[in-house]
Structure 1
Amino acid sequence: MNASESPPGHRLRSRRMKVTIVGVAVAITASVTVATASFGSSSGAEGATPLTQVVPKPVSVRTTGNVAFDLDRGDAVYATGGSADAKAAAEFVAGLLRKPTGFALPVRTLTGGAKPEGIVLALGGANKVTHAEGYQLDVTSKAVTIQADARAGLFNGVATLRQLLPAKVERQQRTAGPWRVQGGRITDQPRYGYRGAMLDVARHFLPEPDVRKYIDTIARYKINYLHLHLIDDQGWRLEIKDWPELTKTGGASGVGGMNGGFFTQEQYTSIVRYAWARGVTVIPEVEGPAHMHAALASYGKLNCDGKALEPYTGFVPSPEGRLCLDDPDTYELMDAVIGQVAALTPGPYIHVGGDETQDIPEADRDAYFTKIAKLVEKHGKKIYGWQDAAGSMPAAGSMTGFWAAGINDDRVIAAAEAGGKVVMAPSAHTYLDMKYDETAPEYPIGNSWAGTSTVEDSYGWKPEEQLAGLPENAIAGVESALWTETIFGIRQAEDLAFPRLLSVAEIGWAKASAHDWNTFRERLAAQGPRLREARVNYYQAPDVPWPLGS
């Protein structure tokens, strides 16, 4: 029997064995393949990734010495019976592993009382997990078992398992094993429920394959929201039925007249589903009342004088890109946009923009967002806006994106005290389009208006210290933002985003007492070979001790 014919329940391992012939004092060493029972002391854990190398840092790690699980050809992936969520996570794991391993890895139903060998995804039942996004991951020589109480927890456990397997698991072609996981237990849950990545596809358009690739990478590090910035002065990037000029005219180009394009509703739906299948929820941003030049160039009736603007391709925000706040056509447009986007997006939030509107009189701003909030509610969603809109949006159930102190601070705090939530995205630390230093990346890639930001800078901040007077319990989580006026494709986007986005992921996940740059940089360095295997174009920052193979 060869390895490909091994029956379930047995693991064939190639082992250097010392065979002693009875009555003979000479030991004969030979390389043989033997069938062994799957118990820990027989397998060892040589070559396995330490459980302590995970990013973001787990809450609790316990390693079992001299024990490892080796994924074999005869193994399967098991999911709790009757659970669509468990089956979805199991299908994702199996699909992830089939390409590099070449194994069939059928997805099977986990029956009550069974103790199968392979990978087990158990939803509910007896476990110590109490957080909706928490999970418990147990590795024995027979199985890797991920237990959780909710779908999100299973996907978070899967993200951890992905990092515990060899880096070659990210390859898209069949590769020789072994596929070993260190024995032990990880019990884990996030500090914050919102861990977001904002991707701007408006200033320079990024097509669907690029967005999918970005989703793949953020999902590896337990980022659970993709905030997709779809509209800005330079481009309208989503098809809206009965408003075809929005994409025909408004989506034709971008900053500098380059990188035009848009998503059909079918393409956008495909992105939403792709993200959800990896544990990521899409939040669309539809902008307003500023940053709307692309719409104003598409339809004359949206302008106060009834005349369409010329398309705008400038680098900075358009001085003419403000909606006519007293015009019924404005709200006809926004009703159509919010309604169609809400219907295409199963997530809870619609982001309505609101940034850089400080020069609009407060009363006008309040009136606009009161109307927009009613439209968001009408279409079954919760409202999310930039901090400039805080106080203009209803506090209850709303969420505010904080990006810089000194802008509307009092109203941000008042909204938080009235029950609103705040996502912390300080531009000096989390705006990934900022350069690493004055020379990297080279011109013309990267901004510096918020300063430059090394990888250590991206890690060296605390959400609770960004806005004095903000109630700590109002912080929903953290977000990194990647604006694309200096980005022309996915490779430049990745070079700026990674590895700094991993810093933000850890700040959002790990408990505050666990944050330590010196230990983080070692764990971050271990991600280098994984990012390389996944063909992610990350920046090999000099303040990180990248290993050979990064």
Structure 2
Amino acid sequence: MPFPIDVALTGDAPFALSGATVTGDPDAAGQLRALVRTRTGAELGAGDDIALTVDGSGAAESYRLDVSATGIRITGADAAGLFYGVQTLGQLIRREGDSWVVPAVRAVDAPRFAYRGVMLDVARHFHDVATVRAYIDRAACLKLNVLHLHLSDDQGWRLELRSRPELTATASATAVGGAAGGFYTQDDYRQIVAYAASRHMTVVPEFDMPGHTHAVGLAYPEIAAAPVVEVITEGSIPVAGEPYTGIGVGFSSLRIGDEATDAFVRDVFTELADLTPGPWLHFGGDESLGTDPEDFARFVAQASAVIAGLGKTPVAWHEAGAASGLAPGTVGQFWGFVSPTDAAARHARAFAERGGRLILSPADAIYLDMKPTADSALGLTWANGPTSLARAYGWEPTEVVDGVGEEAILGVEAPLWTETVATLDDIDALAFPRIAAAAEIAWSPATGAERSWESFRGRVGGLGPLWTNLDIHFPALEEVPWTT
């Protein structure tokens, strides 16, 4: 999981893990030792039963796996490919009587999309470094390679910036429902970025603007417009200058056209670019429901130009596609439905028409914060009701936005907004097992004998013991025939 491009049983006897040894790339060997220890309790010694190498051939992130009774060979095109081959090997380990074995298989594998992401919203509820690291581990084991961190919203600002110290001094202490807030120091953020890189994941940070900026107004009221409360359809009413702990959206905006606002945008993205080695910076651009459309278009064009001028690729939610002046190459992130409205499709398509590409995140299929079942204690239902695992799996990226083919799709991302998510257990309860659907859609070929709901649900069920060993507290959805 996700299913490889080409994999087959060879008919040979399985490889016995008892007393097995590993040699080769030290990082990959360490990952494999930890995975085998967690799954089986066994320790791999030093030796050449299992050989892990990088040979530089093949597509980026690809690998080849060969298991026989006498040994295992994993060869990666690069370090990421070798890491993913190790994850596949870990999924193949099974119990046979009193022994742990790996079935004899050959696999050749490579990803469909270069960008395979998850998003964690740390603004509605703050999640500490340990929780973020745990989520990175969970995503990476499914060959996902991007962590999008939603670092600011109406409820709080979550990253220390030395150019704008009031953001964390006065705008980080609260969260939804009055929960404690928090923020990452710059050292915390560097730790997250480095840990993600060790799992071959790139961090994409987001400061959302011009909307979703009520918290900015607590720190710098001179650049915040008054709340437009009539757009709120759910949640409490905000008051200018007071922390917001509700879940309403669309009411806030920066003052567009002011020199002080322009200076703020330059300051925060300049510092964020210095802290972030990855190529993408996300500037939001969604749900500015009370903002004048011309002001909105001017703002997102300017923000994208600032980011491009810093040598980064701007990313924005699809509403920003309404602006004709976006920096060339700006990436759009589509969060409409699998069958989108005309406006959402038009705005998303505009990114591709202007030389950018799209990240697909259809809310009614891949938003992990939607309830998985009607009786789930966590989650929301605004995206066409509860999202079952079957619905999470049953969509195709090239069929969402008319006129946007595979060449214009950068990848797929599964966001997890945190209105109802306060702990790692909450993350597990909503992300799993639907995160596996996102991973397979992002990695595996669109068609094939095993790219079916029946195959997928069976393979998800087979991962139950591994996920349990990895301390992932997933719900045992009735859609899945779980292996116990």
TM-score computed with the length of structure 1 as normaliser: 0.79
Counterpart residue number, 1:381: 312
Counterpart residue number, 2:235: none
Take 2:475 and 2:43, find their aligned partners in 1: how far apart are those partners?
A: 33
Deviations 1:2-22 (A, max 9, x none): xxxxxxxxxxxxxxxxxxxxx
Counterpart residue number, 2:191: 270
Does residue 380 of structure 2 align to residue 447 of structure 1? Answer: yes
Deviations 1:122-162 (A, max 9, x none): 2226xxx5221211111233432221222221222122112
Take 1:74 and 1:504, find their aligned partners in 2: how far apart are those partners?
A: 34
Counterpart residue number, 1:42: none
* Aligned length, in residue pairs: 463
**Contact 1:300/1:309 (8 A) holds in 2:** yes
Higher mean displacement: 364-373 or 231-240:
364-373
**Contact 2:64/2:76 (8 A) holds in 1:** yes
User: Secondary structure in 2 aligned to 1:352?
Assistant: strand
Counterpart residue number, 1:412: 348
Q: Which of 299, 306, 328 is the aligned partner of 1:396?
A: 328
**Aligned partner letter, 1:291:** H
**Contact 1:395/1:415 (8 A) holds in 2:** no
TM-score computed with the length of structure 2 as normaliser: 0.89
Take 1:511 and 1:208, find their aligned partners in 2: how far apart are those partners?
A: 34
**Aligned partner letter, 1:92:** Q
Task: Map 1:457-496 to 2 at 5 A.
Answer: 457-496=391-430
Higher mean displacement: 413-422 or 190-199:
413-422
Counterpart residue number, 1:93: 32
Deviations 1:26-52 (A, max 9, x none): xxxxxxxxxxxxxxxxxxxxxxxxxxx
Take 2:95 and 2:16, find their aligned partners in 1: how far apart are those partners?
A: 15
Structure 1 residues 544 and 395: CA distance shift in structure 2, 3 A: farther
Higher mean displacement: 309-318 or 419-428:
309-318
Q: Which of 106, 110, 114 is the aligned partner of 1:189?
A: 110
Take 1:235 and 1:325, find their aligned partners in 2: how far apart are those partners?
A: 21
Take 2:306 and 2:168, find their aligned partners in 1: how far apart are those partners?
A: 22
Displacement of 1:481: 1.1
Does residue 77 of structure 2 align to residue 149 of structure 1? Answer: yes
Structure 1 residues 462 and 304: CA distance shift in structure 2, 3 A: closer
Structure 1 residues 135 and 210: CA distance shift in structure 2, 3 A: same
Q: Which of 228, 233, 248 is the aligned partner of 2:169?
A: 248
Does residue 218 of structure 2 align to residue 287 of structure 1? Answer: no
Counterpart residue number, 1:367: 298
Structure 1 residues 246 and 56: CA distance shift in structure 2, 3 A: same
Displacement of 1:198: 0.9
User: Secondary structure in 2 aligned to 1:145?
Assistant: strand
Displacement of 1:492: 1.2
Q: Which of 37, 43, 47 is the aligned partner of 1:103?
A: 43
User: Secondary structure in 1 aligned to 2:284?
Assistant: coil
Displacement of 1:522: 0.5
Take 1:506 and 1:530, find their aligned partners in 2: how far apart are those partners?
A: 17
Deviations 1:294-329 (A, max 9, x none): 111112232358x9721111121262x211111222
Deviations 1:397-435 (A, max 9, x none): 221111112244323213212321111111111111111
Task: Map 1:292-331 to 2 at 5 A.
Answer: 292-303=213-224, 309-317=241-249, 319=251, 321-331=252-262
Aligned-residue CA RMSD (Å): 2.4
Does residue 358 of structure 2 align to residue 422 of structure 1? Answer: yes
Take 1:485 and 1:179, find their aligned partners in 2: how far apart are those partners?
A: 42
Take 2:31 and 2:482, find their aligned partners in 1: how far apart are those partners?
A: 29
**Aligned partner letter, 2:71:** A
**Contact 2:156/2:215 (8 A) holds in 1:** yes
Structure 1 residues 181 and 363: CA distance shift in structure 2, 3 A: same
User: Secondary structure in 2 aligned to 1:513?
Assistant: coil
Counterpart residue number, 1:33: none
Take 1:303 and 1:402, find their aligned partners in 2: how far apart are those partners?
A: 27
